[in-house]
Amino acid sequence: MSNPSLLILPGDGIGPEVMAEVRKVIDWFGANRGLTFDVSEDLVGGAAYDAHGTPLTDETMAKAQQVDAVLLGAVGGPKYDKLDFSVKPERGLLRLRKEMDLYANLRPAQCFDALADFSSMKKEIVSGLDIMIVRELTSGIYFGEPRGVFKDGNERVGLNTQRYTESEIARVARSAFELARKRSNKVCSMEKANVMESGVLWRDVVTEIHDAEYPDVELSHMYADAGAMQLTRWPKQFDVIVTDNLFGDMLSDLAAMLTGSLGMLPSASLGSPMENGRPKALYEPVHGSAPDIAGTGKANPCASILSFAMALRYSFDQGDEATRLEQAVEKVLADGVRTADLMQAGDGTPATTVEMGQAVIAALDASL
Ligand code: IPM
Ligand code: MG
């Protein structure tokens, strides 16, 4: 049987630096755990625009469809701010999500013990926090038609459309319930059913799927604005949160910040199973391209490394090896290794991106 395949798309800003460390981790699993991957690399985002005039070529799109998993760094940067909307770096990422039909975006917000002091929240509110946001990723107002900026009489009108079909809601609800069963068996669904018809349908369909297929899971509903408030008031009341594309975008940033360490958080975007039974999948850090620190060696590679751990778990059925990698990262933190984002002024000299990568490899060695 051939090796499983990975496509690495480092992208822009700090993307290439952090993905270089991920590559070393991938090689470690090949050398030490018999998990050998066929790895290829390609361009996405501004890097692809610079080379080809488009943030994602058709060839790269086709490759992404063929591999077992895509690992992405980050896209975007001020250099590309003035580009036409249709070729902005972000369009490359959105095309990958849409054409691979990656409808379930898993965004864990986990507070690492060693970092609880870093949160802007009181320690007792966030220590031990471990929630999973499941964001619908291929529909809603991000993709709904009609959309655009139009002329209407004497003025321009900006238009986007929030649109959800029953089946789109049902499939992401199932993803959330399935995950909940492997965690604390609790799902909170968030929408604005008080204001939006699409929210009314969302609530109905989530309830129907629950009652018919997952009656054992505890289900609650919250308006998304109240959800934001509850997330800051007492986030530990949540286990799995399922929500739409736009609310999920905002609530996941909020949840990420609760943990105090955006540089630590991974994500998985999953679609339907391919012929080999693996879900279509793209893994990426929650953080962006951080152009202000690109090339300085300050970037924290942990979020991308932990995204590869999610790949081991969700694409390659290697839950134990995923745990090994997650524990290696936790050990490094417990040992006091810190990149600049995990330090305050006066804390001493931060580890560089490469040093953090080396520390994770050393912890992996120690795990054998
Ligand atoms: C995210 C980002 C993206 C989004 C951007 C880069 C298109 O904010 O992954 O959360 O809005 O979905
Ligand atoms: Mg976002």
- Domains in the chain, ordered, with CATH? 1-111+262-368 (3.40.718.10), 130-258 (3.40.718.10)
Cα(38) to ligand 2 centroid in Å equals: 30
pLDDT tops 90 at residue 150: yes
Q: What is the mean pLDDT of residues 205-226?
A: 98
pLDDT at 357: 98
pLDDT tops 80 at residue 323: yes
Task: Report the atom number in ligand 1 closest to the C-alpha of 137.
Answer: 12
Instruction: Report residue 118's pLDDT band, with 50, 70 and 90 as the boundaries.
Output: confident
**Four-CA torsion 190, 195, 201, 202, nearest 10 degrees:** -10
pLDDT tops 80 at residue 1: no
State the chain's mean pLDDT as an integer.
96
pLDDT at 247: 98
Q: Is 314 a catalytic residue?
A: no
Q: Is 192 a catalytic residue?
A: yes
Instruction: Report residue 174's pLDDT band, with 50, 70 and 90 as the boundaries.
Output: very high
Cα(43) to ligand 1 centroid in Å equals: 18
| CA terminus-to-terminus distance, the chain | 26
Q: Is 347 a catalytic residue?
A: no
Report yes or no: 37 and 3 within 8 Å, Cβ to Cβ: yes
pLDDT at 168: 98
Q: Which tokens belong to 328?
A: 């290696």
Residue with the nearest Cα to atom 1 of ligand 1?
249
Q: Which tokens belong to 320?
A: 């134990």
Instruction: Report residue 345's pLDDT band, with 50, 70 and 90 as the boundaries.
Output: confident
Cα(91) to ligand 1 centroid in Å equals: 10
Cα(108) to ligand 1 centroid in Å equals: 15
Cα(214) to ligand 1 centroid in Å equals: 30
CA pair distance 302, 304, nearest whole angstrom? 5
**For ligand 1, mutation pick of 94, 252, 282 (most atoms within 8 Å of CB):** 94
Task: Report the atom number in ligand 1 closest to the C-alpha of 93.
Answer: 7
Strand partners, 133: 107, 241
HEC secondary structure over the chain: CCCCEEEEEEECCCHHHHHHHHHHHHHHHHHHHCCCCEEEECCCCHHHHHHHCCCCCHHHHHHHHHCCEEEEEECCCHHHCCCCHHHCHHHHHHHHHHHCCCCEEEEEEECCHHHHHHCCCCHHHHCCCEEEEEEECCCHHHCEEEEEEEEECCEEEEEEECCCCHHHHHHHHHHHHHHHHCCCCEEEEEECCCCCHHHHHHHHHHHHHHHHHCCCCEEEEEEHHHHHHHHHHCHHHCCEEEECHHHHHHHHHHHHHHCCCHHHCEEEEEEEECCCCCEEEEEEECCCCCHHHCCCCCCCCHHHHHHHHHHHHHCCCCHHHHHHHHHHHHHHHHCCCCEHHHCCCCCCCCECHHHHHHHHHHHHHHCC
Q: What is the mean pLDDT of residues 126-133?
A: 95
Query: Strand pairing of 266-273 and 104-110?
Result: antiparallel
Residue keyed to tokens 């018919």: 212
**For ligand 1, mutation pick of 86, 93, 98, 252 (most atoms within 8 Å of CB):** 93
Residue with the nearest Cα to atom 2 of ligand 1?
249
Nearest alpha carbon to residue 74 among 8, 6, 15 = 15
Q: What is the mean pLDDT of residues 349-354?
A: 96
Cα→Cα distances 3→200, 246, 274, Å: 45, 37, 16
Instruction: Report residue 348's pLDDT band, with 50, 70 and 90 as the boundaries.
Output: confident
Q: What is the mean pLDDT of residues 172-201?
A: 98
Cα Rg of the chain (Å, integer): 20
pLDDT tops 90 at residue 347: no
> Could you give the percent of the chain with pLDDT greater than 70?
100
Task: Report the atom number in ligand 1 closest to the C-alpha of 249.
Answer: 10
Cα(106) to ligand 1 centroid in Å equals: 13
Residue with the nearest Cα to atom 7 of ligand 1?
90
pLDDT tops 80 at residue 3: yes
Instruction: Report residue 324's pLDDT band, with 50, 70 and 90 as the boundaries.
Output: very high
Q: Is 225 a catalytic residue?
A: yes
Query: Strand pairing of 240-243 and 130-136?
Result: parallel
pLDDT at 120: 87
Q: What is the mean pLDDT of residues 4-32?
A: 98
Residue keyed to tokens 């793209």: 282
Q: What is the mean pLDDT of residues 145-157?
A: 97
pLDDT tops 90 at residue 344: no
Please write the tens of the pLDDT for every residue from 33-91: 999 999 999 999 999 999 999 999 999 999 999 999 999 999 999 999 999 999 999 99
Residue with the nearest Cα to atom 10 of ligand 1?
249
Ligand 1, CB cutoff 6 Å, lining residues = 90, 93-94, 249
Residue with the nearest Cα to atom 5 of ligand 1?
90
Q: Is 249 a catalytic residue?
A: yes
Ligand with smallest separation from the Cα of 282: 1
